Amino acid sequence: MSFERKELANGIYFNAVHETKFKANLISLRFVVPLSADTAAKNALLFPVLLRGSERYPSIGEIRREEESIYDTGISDSVYKRGDLQILELRINLLENRYAIDGMDITGRAMDLLEDILFHPVTENGVFREEYVESEKKMLVDDIRAQVNDKRRYAMTRLVEEMFEGDAFGLSELGTVETVSSVCPSCLTAQYRDVLARARVEIFAVGNFNFEALSERFAAMFGKISRGELYPLETAVLAKPRDEVKTVYERQNITQGKLSLGFYTGHSVSDGNYHIMQVLNTVYGAGVTSKLFLNVREKLSLCYYCSSAENGQKGYMTVNSGIEFANEKKAVEEILVQLDHMKNGEITEDEITDAKLALIDSAGRVGDSTGTLMNWYFACVMNEEILTPEEKIARFRSVTKEEIVRMAQDIKLDTYYFLCGKEDAAK
Amino acid sequence: MKDTRITERETEFGEKYFYTKHRSGLDIYVIPKDFATSFAMFSTKYGAIDNCFKLEGEPEFHEVPDGIAHYLEHKMFENEDGVDTFSRFAKYGANANAFTSGTMTSYLFSCTDHLKENLEILLDYVSKPYFTPENVEKERGIIGQEIRMYEDNPGSAIYYNLLEAMYEKNQTRINVAGTVESIAEITPALLYDCYYTFYNFSNMTLCVSGRADMEMVLDAVNRILPEREQKTIIRNYYSEKPEVFRKRISAEFEVAKPMFLIGVKDIDISDDSRVRMKKKTEMGILTDMLFGPTSPFAIDVYESGLVNGFDAGYDHGRDSSKLLLEGETDDPETVYGKFVSYIEKNRKEGLSREDFDRIKRASYASYIKMFDSTKLAQSFTYMIHDDCDPFDYGEALKSVTFEEVEALFEKLFHEEYYAMSVVNPVKK
């Protein structure tokens, strides 16, 4: 396996991950833009609208039939946030050419389709077709409203909203019902041009390609657009915790309460010792040998799940659990007691070894799928530190108990969110 | 191991597996892959639907509470020496888990190192039940919360409701986790009864993919599995009529928009596994032709904005066969009406041969992509539990004809086989 990276044009990078053991390759384009209230909705709508029709394939049916014809080469879009940045992705999963029964150049045809979708959208009088824009707006609004359907994820999203109120990271990467509704075809078209001109673009090709030819093809594609001033791309790490814990209770007609706690850590990937936080988090609450699993679930039988997660962009940690409403106090108490144990050094060597082995195992399997390889190297380029999984493994091994304890002492409860039942609901 | 016959098979695209039937009756598959990750799955053909059974020679059927297979899965992690199974795996960096479905219970792990040691732990803990009144009691709270979690999940409710509408008596309708009431009846004695019935090795499979070889796997199996008498299980499944039990079922949840799930019931399941495999390939292609991403139906409901998140799926195995359509819409009855008239239109005008060719090729491509997965042992297990050889499946996929798919279309779709489950938003 090898990794190479080069800049094709101002802010447009081609990342080649060469690996021959897969039958299907991956091409992904990630457009990195600032997450802001003004543009989040427009950005979220961009790729869905592009996928509605291009000059050669002017309807979604024609696009999908072409995808299916090239050996089920799916082109999918997604949008997510990473720190204060919004990432817009187009991803293509394609069978390697040598598996084509009829000698088809699968990669070539997929690239033709991609180019048409990305650079030749269906327009009317120079703007996106209104029908497509309106239809995608309606679906995005539905998606935003449907976030309430999955209570576990809903609670986690709401916690972040509350904890980061007033901060870019508190915004939804989908925009809001209001901002989506106010998008018009001409303002979306203007945003499309702006993103093409100013976004940082990380292109990934993972698998077995003629990388030289592929990078030339991308260079030619992007060479046709004129690039402008690049967007400023920065993420602000939490500077300090709240003076007083922010407490939010939300009520719904449900039978199980969802507890979501947000903790300030202040530590981020850019500090260079974030691997300590990852071991800390694994000892505390990630996985089935963690303190939270063994105590809140196994010892006290309070829940089916109780786990923690760290975020190395913004410097915070969360704990999530599904519990009986009446057990709220008991569960919170135990979660905090276990955190105190971390701070007081009540950690066994076994706990640390188990946690390290789990992290080492997960880094060790990065090379086993095109998707994990891409995510690994994307994180590297965003963190501005290219590391192999082996180098990261060495860092995990080096973490000591003292380092964990010292870092744990910086952790402080910041936001308390509980999704609970209606007061008048029967227990 | 002179008495063990090992079969080797290879595909034209370079994939390989080794198979043997162990003297205990256990079916063992080893699939070598050039991945850092190895994956092992030890499974029994026992799931939520097996609530009424006896061993050959026993006079009476045993009836057990709903959710017991899943409860048993949770309790297998308990060991007599008090050491938790997860922490045993953790010593070797493995990622372990287990799950229960309607028809199987699986114990699995994946790891990048110490495959041998981890495999030994897997074989050991699954072959040593240890149930006490205390440890069985302790689990009731945890599983109770797991059940509550699903009770608040509209996606789970809409699915089980549909099963209750489609099937009148058949055990397919049983919720895998059971209910808070049904699991209250579970005792150590009942768990042992189920364990010694269904965890006999002739009812089980072991699949290992990754950096594994048959010699190492067989050596571990020989050393660790206890001698156990092979038994024949007689399962009592309640038979079903072809028509659905109820046409409609609905529930209310805190959701933004109504959700629908349409089911097409099919009870034409052959006892011959080769016939089932053939039909499965035909059903996959037919489902995609009619309701896949390029189908006129999927495109129509997308472009008109009638449905958000439309998806179609099917299953066809020994114990169940059905086609499912789902999505979110303001008007489930309109979607249902469209579905019925779309089928009638296709019946009149015939299916498209061009669609068939394109989709058949795409299906073969996604079959090949399956071999990129580090969880190949899991895909193998699903097929093997239905007596379907994963390599034969690829061949069967290539040999499906348009005429066969047409004939299946004629048989599968009739209004009395359709049911719809709906979740409506709570009225404020």
Comparing alpha-carbon positions, the chain A residue that sits nearest to B152 is: A254
Question: What is the b/e burial string over A253-274, where b = at least 16 CB atoms within 10 angstroms of the residue's CB?
Answer: ebbbbbbbbbbbbbbbbeeeeb
Averaged pLDDT for residues B205-219: 96
- Burial, B242: exposed, middle or buried (Cβ in 10 Å; 0-12, 13-18, 19+)? exposed
A139: chain B residues, CB-CB within 8 Å: 305, 308
Q: Which residue of A has its CA nearest to B361?
A: A71
Q: What is the pLDDT of residues A194-218, one digit of tens each?
A: 999 999 999 999 999 999 999 999 9
CA-closest candidate to residue B210, choices B30, B32, B14: B32
Tens-digit pLDDT profile for residues A257-267: 999 999 999 99
CB B233 within 8 A of CB B198: yes
Q: Are B412 and B323 in contact (CB under 8 A)?
A: yes
So what's the pLDDT on residue A425? 39
B358 has pLDDT over 70: yes
pLDDT tens-digit readout, A81-134: 999 999 999 999 999 999 998 899 999 999 999 999 999 999 999 999 999 999
Using an 8 Å CB-CB cutoff, list chain A residues near B299: 59-61, 64
A359-390 confidence digits (pLDDT tens): 999 999 999 999 999 999 999 999 999 999 99
- Facing B93 at nearest CB: one of A135, A148, A357: A357
Q: What's at B143, amino acid-wise?
A: I
pLDDT class of B427 with cuts at 50, 70, 90: confident
C-alpha span between B151 and B155 (Å, rounded): 10
Does the distance separating the beta carbons of A303 and B95 come in below 8 Å?
no
Task: Tell me the residue length of chain A.
Answer: 427
Mean pLDDT of A60-83: 96
Q: Which residues of B are less than 8 Å from A392 in CB distance?
A: none
- Chain position carrying tokens 């050094």: A345
Share of chain A above pLDDT 90, in %: 95
Query: Of the candidates A150, A253, A302, which has its C-beta nearest B426's C-beta?
Result: A253
A315: left (phi over 0), alpha (psi -120 to 50) or beta: left
Q: Which helix (H) or strand (E) holds B248?
A: strand B248-253
The predicted pLDDT at position A365 comes to 95
Q: With the CA atoms of A350, A352, A354 and A355 taken in that order, what torsion angle do they form, in degrees rounded to the nearest 10?
A: 160
Q: Is pLDDT of B52 > 90?
A: yes
CB atoms within 10 A of CB A286: 21
Q: The tokens of A113 are what?
A: 């389709």
Which of chain B's residues have a Cβ under 8 Å away from the Cβ of A259? none
Nearest to B368 among A23, A60, A255 (CB): A23
Tokens matching residue B403: 């005429």
Antiparallel, parallel or unpaired: β A74-82 and B7-10: unpaired
A148:B372 CB<8 A: no
- ipTM of this predicted complex? 0.89
Tens of pLDDT, residue by residue over A302-313, are: 998 999 999 999
Q: Under a CB-based contact definition with an 8 Å cutoff, are residues A12 and A215 in contact? A: no
Binning pLDDT at 50, 70 and 90, where does residue A426 land? Answer: very low
- Closest CB to A358: pick one of B93, B155, B363: B93
Average pLDDT over chain A reads 95
Tell me if A91 sits within 8 A of A205, measured CB to CB: no
Q: Please provide the average confidence, as pLDDT, over all residues in chain B.
A: 95
What DSSP string describes A124-193?
ETTEE-HHHHHHHHHHHHHHHHGGGTSHHHHHHHHHHHHHTTTSGGGS-TT--HHHHHT--HHHHHHHHH
> Is B310 within 8 Å of B302 (Cβ atoms)?
yes
Which of B162, B154, B203 is closest to B42 using CA atoms?
B203
Cβ pair B372:A23 closer than 8 A: yes
Residues B69-126: tens digit of each pLDDT = 999 999 999 999 988 899 899 999 999 999 999 999 999 999 999 999 999 999 999 9
Catalytic residues of B: 73
**Chain A residues with beta carbon closer than 8 angstroms to that of B111:** 361
Residue B28 is predicted with a pLDDT of 98
For residues B305 and B331, give the distance between their C-alpha atoms in angstroms, rounded to a whole number.
Answer: 11
From the CA of A292, how many Å to the nearest CA of chain B? 14
d(CA A248, CA A261): 10
Which stretch of DSSP H or E encloses residue A261? strand A257-264
pLDDT digits over A283-303, tens only? 999 988 999 999 999 899 899
Q: How many CB pairs under 8 A join A and B?
A: 170
**pLDDT at B2 > cutoff 70:** no
**Min Cα separation B34/chain A (Å):** 7
